[in-house]
Amino acid sequence: EAQVTQNPRYLITVTGKKLTVTCSQNMNHEYMSWYRQDPGLGLRQIYYSMNVEVTDKGDVPEGYKVSRKEKRNFPLILESPSPNQTSLYFCASRAATTGRQPQHFGDGTRLSIL
Amino acid sequence: RKEVEQDPGPFNVPEGATVAFNCTYSNSASQSFFWYRQDCRKEPKLLMSVYSSGNEDGRFTAQLNRASQYISLLIRDSKLSDSATYLCVVNRPGTASKLTFGTGTRLQVTL
């Protein structure tokens, strides 16, 4: 089954404790992306990757890091999480690097930073 | 002006009603348009792409008006299961890979 898998689904942690949210897709998609969703603000792009070893900032990259060592994986790293990073996070992938292809989203990761 | 604007709703409609959502976008050079559906606390899922000539998928019809820079979604014969938030999505010109999401319009279909 074609899917985007995120882990963990839920995480409550404390300020400053490094965490990683994993994302994996089994569709051999080139393009992967991370979003955060907050009430009233919609989905905002954090980082994206157009292929292995190619990553770029989205609209709200501050406080986040990503890596793309393999095509299927695109982890999101919070080196020193802060309460303003409490949010619902989605990983997404799509087949092509152009914007004409629809994106497939993971189930989401709900992060609470205390 | 926001890149993509939607009326947040909620739209409360009875089962069987026809409901329409509009979405405006600010960049006239945008080329790709989509409607996504998002259920509460779930991931967004593609509902339909929006083509220049308009397109229909069962009870759903999407229209694009480039001159006025808006897209619309019409749902006929609403079902309870249509209750969700509908996200308008537009590509950002000049950046092949970026999509901009509207904040969504919430629909509640009632008996």
Per-residue pLDDT of chain A (114 residues; tens, 9 = 90+): 779 999 999 999 999 999 999 999 999 999 999 999 998 888 999 999 989 999 999 999 999 999 999 999 999 999 999 999 999 999 999 886 565 677 899 999 999 999
For chain B, residues with pLDDT lower than 70 are 94-97
Which pLDDT score, from 0 to 100, does residue A97 have?
59
**Mutate: best of B32, B36, B99, partner A, most A CBs <10 A:** B99
Which pLDDT score, from 0 to 100, does residue B10 have?
92
Which pLDDT score, from 0 to 100, does residue B97 have?
64
Question: B59 is written with which tokens?
Answer: 């009870």
Please report residues of A whose CB lies closer than 8 A to that of B45: 105
Q: Are B89 and B102 in contact (CB under 8 A)?
A: yes
Which pLDDT score, from 0 to 100, does residue A98 have?
60
Which pLDDT score, from 0 to 100, does residue A114 have?
95
Give the closest-approach CA distance of A68 to chain B in angstroms.
16
Are B32 and A99 in contact (CB < 8 Å)?
Answer: yes
Are B99 and A97 in contact (CB < 8 Å)?
Answer: no
Are A99 and B96 in contact (CB < 8 Å)?
Answer: yes
What does the alpha-carbon distance between residue A109 and residue A13 come to, in Å, rounded to a whole number? 13
Tens of pLDDT, residues B10-32: 999 999 999 999 999 999 988 88
Please report residues of A whose CB lies closer than 8 A to that of B99: 45, 99, 103
Please report residues of B whose CB lies closer than 8 A to that of A40: 103
Question: B46 is written with which tokens?
Answer: 């593609």
Which pLDDT score, from 0 to 100, does residue B95 have?
63
Q: Are A52 and A68 in contact (CB under 8 A)?
A: yes
What does the alpha-carbon distance between residue B81 and residue A94 come to, in Å, rounded to a whole number? 27
Are B43 and A41 in contact (CB < 8 Å)?
Answer: no
What is the sign, positive or negative, of the torsion defined by CA atoms of A37, A57, A50, A76? negative
What does the alpha-carbon distance between residue A110 and residue A7 come to, in Å, rounded to a whole number? 10
Q: Is B92 helix (H, G, I), strand (E, B) or coil?
A: coil
Reported in sequence order, the residue ranges of chain B that DSSP labels E, i.e. its strands, are 4-6, 11-14, 19-25, 33-38, 45-50, 55-57, 60-65, 70-75, 84-91, 99-101, 105-110
Are B91 and A100 in contact (CB < 8 Å)?
Answer: yes
A10 touches chain B (CB under 8 A): no
**Mutate: best of B4, B5, B43, partner A, most A CBs <10 A:** B43
Which pLDDT score, from 0 to 100, does residue A99 have?
59
User: Residue A75 is which amino acid?
Assistant: P
Please report residues of A whose CB lies closer than 8 A to that of B23: none
What is the sign, positive or negative, of the torsion defined by CA atoms of A37, A42, A46, A49? positive
Taking the CA atoms of residue A59, residue B48, residue B88 and residue A52 in that order, the dihedral angle to the nearest 10 degrees is: 0
